[in-house]
Amino acid sequence: MMSELKYRRILLKLSGESLMGKQKFGIEADMLQHYANQIMELHDMGAEIAVVIGGGNIFRGIQSEGAGIEGITGDYMGMLATVINGLALQSALESTGVQTRLMTALRMENVAEPYIRRRAIRHLEKGRVVICAAGTGNPFFTTDSAAALRASEIKADVILKATRVDGIYTADPEIDPMAIKFDKLTFAKVISLGLEVMDMTAFTLCQENNMPIIVFDINQPENLRRIVLGEAVGTLVE
């Protein structure tokens, strides 16, 4: 099966909100298992998988602005929220028999390994799913930026950005029923049209490192498998 894969080493970007399911915050068990099962399927196909996970289901740095919390402190709180999600995903994956390593940009050796590029690559080569948490370890940077950075560092073949919609549209399809979907875009076209794929820091990093991005609907259970096999799913930016 490995010889059939178009993308052998992938960076999957999961938002924290994707773990909420129908809840307003926190982690919904069914959604957590849904993602774990999809990642397990890719792992069994021979793909090397790194995951960058957000923390918006627990805390966003922007929430701190009206609570008397300094913005930078709020960013660090958001990083810690991603570690909670990383631990949850690690537990769900290992319950399916998949070996994992949780690596954090902030040092907390009691619960995770510190992120070290060469060690992360070695884990991937040994067939372990690497979950990268705590963003870049720096305030002011989003988990999209962390995904772009980690993907470039581990020399991933593609970033798979999981969303609730099946690609990039001219407008938000959940608001505008006339929005038109793009199947393929160049980096320059995304910028000229002012489309929001990632924040500009993350997007520029992908552009400079020729890192393709596929935006797709994670809630369709076959999509991840179809993408790594080379099927046209979602929107490809390259």
3-state DSSP percent of the chain in helix, strand and coil, to 5: 40, 20, 40
Residue 134: closest CA among 156, 108, 157, 95: 108
Residue 210 — left, alpha, or beta (φ > 0 → left; ψ -120 to 50 → alpha)?
A: left
Query: At the top level of CATH, which class does the domain 2-237 belong to?
Result: alpha beta
**φ, ψ for residue 180, nearest 5 deg:** -105, 135
- CB 47 within 8 Å of CB 228: yes
pTM for this predicted structure:
0.92
**φ, ψ for residue 123, nearest 5 deg:** -60, -45
- CB 169 within 8 Å of CB 181: yes
Q: What is the mean pLDDT of each run of 10 residues along the chain (238 residues)?
A: 82 90 86 93 96 88 67 90 96 96 96 97 98 96 95 97 90 86 93 88 94 93 92 94
Q: What is the pLDDT of residue 64?
A: 59
Which tokens belong to 202?
Answer: 């993350």
Q: What is the pLDDT of residue 24?
A: 82
* Domain ranges (residues) in the chain: 2-237
Tokens 């627990």 — which residue? 58
Q: How far is CA 43 from the centre of its chain?
A: 16
Q: Residue 234 and residue 238: Cα distance in Å, rounded? A: 13
Q: What is the pLDDT of residue 216?
A: 93
